[in-house]
């Protein structure tokens, strides 16, 4: 038991509780990964067969890290654990059982681009308006249906769903869904959502399969359980039903993926599914200073729906959390860039010690411009994945077609690349002929003289022979040897090599990098099967979430807060803390949406190890119009004792209570406003208390607003309209509010209730 000595008492208890249902509530920075790996190691040390352990994660990176740690603790037995992402584990299971649901075991896995390409083709065939039936919208609609286990048949038979579609003028969605499913089936392909949808179908319709895996997976562990959706929840519940040796690990305070279908109720209500549940709370934060942890706690305390815990840190108090105010988004970028430059210089830090986090990708522009002007190296994360680059997708399409010639998307991508005299017209003929004869396009290509005219038939025949030759050589060569052969003999490598432009050189180097990666895979000692088909199965399951921050790249990291989850940095800047931006305007319609935004802010603050800086702008361009901005309500929720206000510029308007020095009794020292030291003043917030809207408050139609009218604003209180200027829809109203003075508002964004006409 010596290996448990490095754990704190609560961690030890969680690790040693190996029987029955267990929930480990793991606060930010509390050593969650360490507990999971030690718990798996403890199972093996207690003679649990690794083949009977299933560990589910949300990223391949997390799975690799855990496996490496377990391997260090118990040796090579770690190889026998079923461990990976939900999608990778159940893709593996489906390849074994695929024949039961009518799929080949070498089925292709479509990524989002592939799925949207299929949908665009269907929309074209159905002569539907691609603006009304936008491929992104249709894809999201089908994805949501699958994640809620709604088949195309149920979709078409559900009166509420049909009524919703008809009300938006999209009555053909059910038929599109049906056609899409059939098209994927014909191609021997599953999309990402199918990997869970089909697993549920398999476990529901084949009791013998369910029984097999219930007895195989005697011990289940699920990481980041707060991020599970309905489909994942059901799979886990079914598999654990016999033994109930299930352990879920997560933090409800970090549930931020509702837009992907994640359901926070899965973790909040876990005890209802397992009444004899043992709960362990990991509350010590080993990552952040006391001040950062205290700020995070004061934020999340405002959420009503949560599992209560008392996260604490035994590290030093650390710097107070600095709040910076800027005139505009451009000035905000300038302030952040200069602060990073100064911190690096005075504290001897590296560029990669800093991260800038924002709510939306569009906010990166002002940050990038400011960093470039100072010559600061930076990298944006969450951009185009390496495996999404055109040249990479082209070569991988050749690989896919080699193993699954029915893969229609791969076929269309490479049949005439490099050019070989098979144009779009010929491709259309192939597909039409396949539809007419109820066969696959590949069957047409195998017999071109039977279905196509002479000249076209010859070109298609050469292509067919080439793909068949690839199918033969991949059976005897390693992944690298087969990949290199296909890259060379397809003509793709030659085509890229002959393009001497800068872009062409980059594309050629990217192909070489892919081949290098395949060579590394071929030389790995921890896997037995090293064929190109095995490599392809791994690649198909890679996601943007698996792209790690390169520890050797000395650059400032820029990313959305969603992309930052699971990462940590010595210094973090969270920018754009303004109402309608963070929290997002889209989140203000319900408490659940607002609480998710607050959890997102909690995640942002807990990425910081030593120093956290928050910033906002008093004006920002929105849809080409400069608008005034209010500080985020989240700033108001932070206990003032942990904050330091760094207002290097004077307020744009003294009408905002956040800037009213006299009201809040700030004392000015140089360029920094510090809190007053007088004992008589006790503030729990850095913001003056906002106006509480009347019980009947409801924003009015302001199109007929006139000078002299009395109004109520949800935050500024009661006021009178002094003047109106501009033309619709950009009319600005100058209003004198009783509590805070004069303020100018853009009516199309303002929320005003007209109280008296004159």
Please give the positions annotated as active site.
32-33, 223-224, 254, 607
In angstroms, the CA 184 to CA 198 distance is 13
Q: Which residue has the tokens 């004006």?
A: 619
Q: What is the DSSP letter of 315?
A: S
In angstroms, the CA 741 to CA 651 distance is 14
Contact between 754 and 708 (Cβ < 8 Å): no
Residue-level length of the chain: 758
Task: Tally Cβ neighbours within 10 Å of residue 174.
Answer: 20
> Which phi and psi (to 5°) does residue 419 adopt?
-55, 130
Q: What is the DSSP letter of 51?
A: G
Contact between 712 and 724 (Cβ < 8 Å): no
Contact between 143 and 180 (Cβ < 8 Å): no
DSSP, collapsed to helix, strand or coil, labels residue 552 as coil
In angstroms, the CA 744 to CA 758 distance is 19
Q: Residue 418: is the preceding peptide bond cis (ω within 30°)?
A: yes
In angstroms, the CA 605 to CA 612 distance is 7
In angstroms, the CA 560 to CA 579 distance is 17
In angstroms, the CA 151 to CA 205 distance is 14
Q: What is the DSSP letter of 246?
A: E
Contact between 8 and 281 (Cβ < 8 Å): no
Q: What pairing do the DSSP bridges indicate for beta strands 556-560 and 354-358?
A: parallel
**Is residue 745 packed enough to be buried (19+ CB in 10 Å), middle (13-18) or exposed (0-12)?**
buried
**Is residue 547 packed enough to be buried (19+ CB in 10 Å), middle (13-18) or exposed (0-12)?**
middle
Contact between 667 and 721 (Cβ < 8 Å): no
Q: Which residue has the tokens 């108090």?
A: 317
In angstroms, the CA 662 to CA 665 distance is 5
In angstroms, the CA 175 to CA 466 distance is 37
Residue 175 tokens read as 């038929």
């Amino acid at each position: 038991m010596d290996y448990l000595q490095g754990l704190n008492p609560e961690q030890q208890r969680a690790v040693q509780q190996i029987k029955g249902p267990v929930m480990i509530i793991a606060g930010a920075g509390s050593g969650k990964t360490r507990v999971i790996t030690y718990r798996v190691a403890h199972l093996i040390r207690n003679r649990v067969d690794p083949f009977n352990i299933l560990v589910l994660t949300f990223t391949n990176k997390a799975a690799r890290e855990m496996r490496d740690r377990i391997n260090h603790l118990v040796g090579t037995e770690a190889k026998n654990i079923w461990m990976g992402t939900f999608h990778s584990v159940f893709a593996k299971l489906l390849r074994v059982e695929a024949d039961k649901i009518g799929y080949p075991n070498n089925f292709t896995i479509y990524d989002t681009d592939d799925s949207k390409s299929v949908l665009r083709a269907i929309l074209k065939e159905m002569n539907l308006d691609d603006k009304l039936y936008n491929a992104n919208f249709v894809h999201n609609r089908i994805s949501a249906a699958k994640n809620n286990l709604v088949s195309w048949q149920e979709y078409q038979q559900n009166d509420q769903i049909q009524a919703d579609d008809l009300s938006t003028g999209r009555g053909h969605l059910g038929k599109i869904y049906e056609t899409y499913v059939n098209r994927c089936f014909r191609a021997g392909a599953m999309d990402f959502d199918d990997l869970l949808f089909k697993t549920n179908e398999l476990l529901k319709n084949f009791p013998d399969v369910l029984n097999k895996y219930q007895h195989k997976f005697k011990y289940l562990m699920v990481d980041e359980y707060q991020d599970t959706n309905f489909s994942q929840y059901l799979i886990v519940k079914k598999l654990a039903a016999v033994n109930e040796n299930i352990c879920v690990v997560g933090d409800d305070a970090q549930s931020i993926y509702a837009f992907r279908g994640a359901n926070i109720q899965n973790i909040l209500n876990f005890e209802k599914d397992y009444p004899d549940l043992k709960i362990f709370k990991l509350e010590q934060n080993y990552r952040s200073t006391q001040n950062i942890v205290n700020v995070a706690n004061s934020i999340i305390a405002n959420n009503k729906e949560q599992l209560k815990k008392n996260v604490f840190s035994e590290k030093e108090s650390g710097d107070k959390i600095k709040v910076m105010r800027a005139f505009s988004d451009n000035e905000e970028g300038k302030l952040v860039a200069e602060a990073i430059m100064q911190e690096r210089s005075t504290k001897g830090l590296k560029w990669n010690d800093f991260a800038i986090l924002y709510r939306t990708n569009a906010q990166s522009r002002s940050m990038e411009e400011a960093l470039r002007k100072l010559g600061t190296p930076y990298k944006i994360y969450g951009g185009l994945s390496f495996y999404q680059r055109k040249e990479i997708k082209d070569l991988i399409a050749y690989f896919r077609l080699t193993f699954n010639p029915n893969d229609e998307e791969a076929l269309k991508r490479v049949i005439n690349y490099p050019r070989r005299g098979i144009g779009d017209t010929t491709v259309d003929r192939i597909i039409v002929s396949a539809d007419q004869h109820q066969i696959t396009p590949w069957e047409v290509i195998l017999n071109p003289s039977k279905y196509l005219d002479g000249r076209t038939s010859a070109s298609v025949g050469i292509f067919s022979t080439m793909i068949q030759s690839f199918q033969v050589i991949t059976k005897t060569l390693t992944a690298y040897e087969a990949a290199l052969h296909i890259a060379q003999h397809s003509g793709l490598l030659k085509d890229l090599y002959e393009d001497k432009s800068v872009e062409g050189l980059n594309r050629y180097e990217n192909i070489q990098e892919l081949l290098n990666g395949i060579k590394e895979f071929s030389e790995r000692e921890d896997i037995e099967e090293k064929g190109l088909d095995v490599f392809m199965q791994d690649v198909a399951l890679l996601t943007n979430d698996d792209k790690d921050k390169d520890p050797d790249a000395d650059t400032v990291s820029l990313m959305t807060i969603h992309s930052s989850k699971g990462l940590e940095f010595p210094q973090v800047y969270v920018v754009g803390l303004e109402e309608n931006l963070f929290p997002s305007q889209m989140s203000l319609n319900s408490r659940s949406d607002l609480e998710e935004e607050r959890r997102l802010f909690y995640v942002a603050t807990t990425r910081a190890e030593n120093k956290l800086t928050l910033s906002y702008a008093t004006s920002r361009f929105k849809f080409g119009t400069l608008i005034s901005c209010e500080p985020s309500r989240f700033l108001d929720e932070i206990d003032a004792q942990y904050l330091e206000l760094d207002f290097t510029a004077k307020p744009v308007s003294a009408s905002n209570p956040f800037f009213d020095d006299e009201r809040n009794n700030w004392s000015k020292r140089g360029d920094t406003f510090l809190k007053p030291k007088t004992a008589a003043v006790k503030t729990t917030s850095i913001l003056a208390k906002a106006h509480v809207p009347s019980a009947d408050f409801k924003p009015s139609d302001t199109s007929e607003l006139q000078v002299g009218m009395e109004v109520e604003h949800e935050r500024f209180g009661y006021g009178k309209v002094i003047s109106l200027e501009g033309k619709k829809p950009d009319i600005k109203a100058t209003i004198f509010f009783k509590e805070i003075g004069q303020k100018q508002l853009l009516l199309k964004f303002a929320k005003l209730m007209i109280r008296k006409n004159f």
